[in-house]
Each structure stands twice: as C-alpha cells, then as structure tokens.
Amino acid sequence: MRHNMTVTALDTNGTPEDRIDAARSRIDACLAGLVPSEAIWPRRLHQAQRHALLSPGKRFRPLLTLFLAQARGLDAAKTDAAMEIGCAVEMVHAASLILDDLPCMDDADLRRNQPTTHVAFGESTAILSATALLNRAFGIIARNAEVPAEQRAELCDLLSYSVGSTGLIAGQMADLDNTGNASVSEIERVNRLKTGALFDFAADAAAILTESSAPQRAALKDFSRQIGLAFQLLDDVKDVLQSPEISGKTSGRDAGKTTLVAKHGLSETKAMLKTYLDNAKTALTRADLTGTEDLSALIDRQFAFMRDL
C-alpha cells in the first residue's frame, strides 16, 4: 500500500509556528494513509495500530527529520520522501510505546490521553500491532521510489541498528535493569539508546537524503545525541512534576529507578538540560545549515516546559 499524497514543498507562509502546525497536519494525514484502514481484516489488529499511531502527538521525530533535511538543502522534489521516512520513524516510536506500556514493562494504562493499546485491545493484540507497525516502517523506506536504491538500503540498515540490540531495544533492556544504583554515565547511556537512537536515525536520514558530507553528517549526529539526551531528561522531569491529567500518560513510572532528576534534583537537572541544548545548537552550527528558523522554533516549542519552571 502506498500513500498517494503529493507534496512538492511545504507551506512557506505565516510564522514558524504556523509552518510547524501545517507540517504536523500533513504528517498526520500521511500516517493515516500509510497503515491499513480499520475496515480491513483483521479489523481489531488494524484498529489497535491506528489507536497507537494516530493518537494526538507532537510528531517531534518526523518533524525533526523533515526540518533537518530542509535546513540541509533538501530538494523540494524529495519532500514527500523525507515526510514518509519521518513517518516511518514515528511508526517505530509508536511500536516502542506500545511495548513500553505493557504490564511486563512499565505497566502503564494511559498514553496520549487515551487507554494504552494493551488496555484497549488486550496484550496479544498490542504486541502484534507493535510488530506490524515496526515491519511497516521498513517497508515504507524500502519502497520509496523517490529515494535511490542505495540510499534506501542504507536507511533500512541504519534503522535496523537504531531499533535493535545495540540501539532502542538495548536501552529498554538496560532501563529494565535499572534498580536504583546507576551512575550518571550509565543513565546517559540508557537515555542515548532508549530515546536517542531514533533521533540519531532522524539526523542520519536527513543527511542521507541531502547527500551531506562526512563532517556535516558527524555534526548532525552530534546534534541528535544531545537533543536525545535533552528530550529524555525533559520526559523524566515531566514524570515527576506533571499529573496524568496534564501529561496525558501514566506518571510515576520511574519510581525505584535512578534518573538524573532523582540523582541531582530539579535545579541541577535544568542546568544539565540547558547544557544538552546548548551543545545541540553548537553542533548545528557545524552542519552547514540554511533557513533554520523553523527548526529552531520546533526545538523551542518542544522544550518550552522547562522555561516555565
């Protein structure tokens, strides 16, 4: 199944906030077209997939993929390709959340202001829907005719490592083993793997689509690692400070684990997060980007919560 939406270029009108909202709406439409309809058999499986994937979210990962590629000079003809690859990242993210919420993992019952997938559809359907989303993500990349075959192969290979036993899955495994005695370096390692792996892929995808040089690609990778650490640290802060009514998900899942918030307190955590973001911005200056207004606004929006503390 292919998504038939054609986008030659994103809207350049309005403010950066307007453009972010417009791009997010297009991403939502793209996601809805890339997975089977709820009317297609097996209906319950497809209902579960769409429940997890299409629930309201910030779409930070696909937006990051798209805006990084644009800032690296993405050919307008490849806008669709960048958007679909970003959607593939979002599918992997959605699959990871389904699994992360299971009773054998974090045992959460609320995600994005709705019941988690296993609560709504049962554990077996949840596991199958996560597997289906993960497989669909690879198919989207593999069949994207706008991307040369060699680039598609590299993207699929990189995504397999980002998800696999040296990436996201390794981070989840290490997180399960976190019993409250982890050092700062160990916590950062878990965060780089569990959360940062998909940010790394988003940056790599933008670099591949724009045929970036090795130094530019290295700079984007430095950026993604720092933004991934900042993102997970922000999530840890929200887990402590926000109620489920505000966050839209089950809170307190980090109880009993060593997090940077638990280890250092809120004030020092804010300073650490600022350091991560400063490092990320420094890395971007080495990536030879142009037209970074939307990218900067996206990052500012994502981390606005910390400014109010």
pLDDT tens for residues 28-72?
999 999 999 999 999 999 999 999 999 999 999 999 999 999 999
CA atoms 96, 100, 103, 104: torsion sign: positive
pLDDT of residue 8: 45
- Whether the per-residue pLDDT at 11 is higher than 80: the answer is no
Question: Is residue 8 in some structural domain?
Answer: no
pLDDT of residue 3: 45
Question: Is residue 3 in some structural domain?
Answer: no
pLDDT of residue 259: 78
The enclosing domain of 123 has a CATH number of: 1.10.600.10
Question: Is residue 67 in some structural domain?
Answer: yes
Q: How confident is the model over 143-162, as pLDDT tens digits?
A: 999 999 999 999 999 999 99
Q: Tell me how many domains the chain contains.
A: 1
Q: How confident is the model over 99-125, as pLDDT tens digits?
A: 999 999 989 999 998 999 999 999 999
Closest CA to 275 of 211, 202, 198, 188: 188
pLDDT of residue 1: 44
Q: Are strands 114-115 and 110-111 parallel, antiparallel or unpaired?
A: antiparallel
State which amino acid sits at residue 16: P
pLDDT of residue 162: 96
pTM summary value: 0.92
pLDDT of residue 170: 93
The residue segments making up the domain with residue 236 are 16-307
Cα–Cα distance measured from residue 97 to residue 235, given in angstroms and rounded to the nearest whole number: 13
Cα–Cα distance measured from residue 142 to residue 147, given in angstroms and rounded to the nearest whole number: 9
Cα–Cα distance measured from residue 307 to residue 309, given in angstroms and rounded to the nearest whole number: 6
Question: Is residue 98 in some structural domain?
Answer: yes
Instruction: Indicate the pLDDT class of residue 256, thresholds 50, 70 and 90.
Output: low
Question: Is residue 301 in some structural domain?
Answer: yes
Cα–Cα distance measured from residue 228 to residue 201, given in angstroms and rounded to the nearest whole number: 11
- Mapped onto helix, strand or coil, the DSSP state of residue 103 is coil
Question: Is residue 1 in some structural domain?
Answer: no
Question: Is residue 10 in some structural domain?
Answer: no
Question: Is residue 2 in some structural domain?
Answer: no
Q: What are the residues whose beta carbons fall under 8 Å from the beta carbon of 255, sequence distance 6 or more?
A: none
